[in-house]
Structure 1
């Protein structure tokens, strides 16, 4: 690991958001914002540096690829060809495989006070995926908004699904139990004990996945619903209503009067409540990271999409541009309108 890969690239300035990025994994290593209580705090959950990230399997702050979420058994068919990709999660492919994009050193293409663009070239056959893929992660700060645009191009037909795995804690530490989460999604994706969809999407009505009104995170993760018990919390895909650029989640912390509105152009949102944080890792600020210390809201395609032709496709072909945008908007109170 080179020292330059571990050095922070700073984007943005007070009183607005300030990002500290690592070339290692195109990782969002710090996200400092001014809370509604007037206090500036880091609202991301992170490890001390690149060495600790390499030793971890929790994707803290990383840019995820070549394929975010799970692919059943690491197997799928593309244009009539049966493919196998690397597996490391209960027999399934997860988040790009055991050596995904979050574990690579990205090139810093450009950087100024308010923007940074990083690039990674993934060779043909990387983790079993066909095609050389060139991916870029462009971070920017404007006003109260942090934007990330992820793009990719390929030399051969392949599948691509990129996202950010930033864990948020709007109180700056401790549990997110008292955070309120709202997601405008009328359906979710039930999964088996290994996190793989076992059918189609299902209505959220009458389940803890009905987040159309704000819900306390601590109550959600302690639900007796079999899907929550099986996953030891929430680790599920929500199919967000509507299409195109729109708000896909609102996370708020009453204790710090801080609100984050997440915008995305993706069809789905994986909600993960840090179920596998088990107290064996020490955070950047010296705390033991425990279950529920952060929440990841990951805009993306649905899990196992390559094996579900009835869902929006993950296929990327030569000459096409994969593009995914997301934005975190921080405010003290609900905005009058956007």
Structure 2
């Protein structure tokens, strides 16, 4: 099966005076990524399976309108200014308290009511395999201080990785934590659940959470817990275990503390046995959030008109830890003027017989 490209016309429009479009990246292996500058969203990602057939391994929609009317899943989007949660929507910088939207119960999630996932980014496709997106988040947008100029570059590399590079600068002290929120199913989008995918995470600890999914501040060893993926096991093996941390999120929705030994570290490895597709995740970030699609609603129709269901995909969101602005013992997410935020993540694909 060859990649089935989505119709670019279904994304072409003008929103708030800005052009929205769908861009197609290719490499010499025949892999294809389609990305829209609405939210910097990865709409499709076609890679070969062990039989040399292409599969689209990310969930999403086939039209821009569906992304605009179903925003809360964040399918494939860039999320920010702060990915993940901030407790009670408050943080303090330089003795000043900032108040953000509380759009996840009593907490702030993924940048707020209108985060980067709903922004129209300025797009420039520099070659067949590279797309550059820029966005300026104004001072106090969604409650965050500073004019923040962000650049995100997507590259579909010749060694079959989707490489995402982030840069940002600010004119006022602020906080930043960016990630991509792609939902993966290596059997192909809409093809059942991901419980039989084999997962290994390069982490000895995770950040435990309270009943509202906010970190307690403790780094808990994964050893002898259902959150232990230091050795490869299926995602479904322990997902329903009688363990408080799993009950809170109805499955995995946890940040892992990556074992960092290099600048760019192998954070996770996923293998799907039937298609034989392998995905290695490399990142410069200190954490990675495993989310097993626990709250995907079965009313959602995907790109091929298949219903999505809970646990129809997994996310591996490279990031700083949730609620870091309120946890002094966590790695800092503060960005000062004259500094540059820089982060790199690769989702690299191969096959295994």
Matched, 1:307 2:307: no
Q: Do 1:220 and 1:234's aligned partners in 2 also have CA atoms closer than 8 Å? A: no
Q: TM-score, normalised by structure 2?
A: 0.91
Matched, 1:3 2:13: yes
CA distance, structure 2, for counterparts of residue 312 and residue 232 of structure 1: 27
For residues 142-221 of structure 1, the aligned pairs below 5 Å read: 142-143=157-158, 144-172=160-188, 173-221=191-239
Matched, 1:295 2:310: no
CA distance, structure 2, for counterparts of residue 23 and residue 276 of structure 1: 26
Shift in Å, 1:98 = 1.2
CA distance, structure 1, for counterparts of residue 149 and residue 328 of structure 2: 25
Shift in Å, 1:38 = 1.4
Q: Which of 39, 43, 49 in structure 2 is aligned with 1:25?
A: 39
CA distance, structure 1, for counterparts of residue 212 and residue 67 of structure 2: 24
For residues 320-331 of structure 1, the aligned pairs below 5 Å read: 320-331=339-350
CA distance, structure 1, for counterparts of residue 28 and residue 46 of structure 2: 9
CA distance, structure 1, for counterparts of residue 154 and residue 215 of structure 2: 32
Counterpart of 1:135 in structure 2 is 150
- Which structure 1 segments of 5+ residues have no match? none
Could you give the per-residue CA deviations for residues 286-329 of structure 1, whole angstroms, max 9, x where no partner exists? 11111011101000000000001111100001111111100011
For residues 212-231 of structure 1, the aligned pairs below 5 Å read: 212-231=230-249
CA distance, structure 1, for counterparts of residue 58 and residue 225 of structure 2: 28
- Which structure 2 segments of 5+ residues have no match? 1-10
Could you give the per-residue CA deviations for residues 59-97 of structure 1, whole angstroms, max 9, x where no partner exists? 000001100000000111111111111220011110000
CA distance, structure 1, for counterparts of residue 338 and residue 63 of structure 2: 36
Q: TM-score, normalised by structure 1?
A: 0.95
Shift in Å, 1:220 = 3.2
Q: Do 1:17 and 1:145's aligned partners in 2 also have CA atoms closer than 8 Å? A: no
Could you give the per-residue CA deviations for residues 24-65 of structure 1, whole angstroms, max 9, x where no partner exists? 000000000011221101001112232222222110000011
Counterpart of 2:86 in structure 1 is 71
Question: Matched residue of 1:73: which SS?
Answer: helix
Counterpart of 2:265 in structure 1 is 246
CA distance, structure 2, for counterparts of residue 279 and residue 129 of structure 1: 34
Q: C-alpha root-mean-square deviation of aligned residues, in Å?
A: 1.5
Counterpart of 2:56 in structure 1 is 42
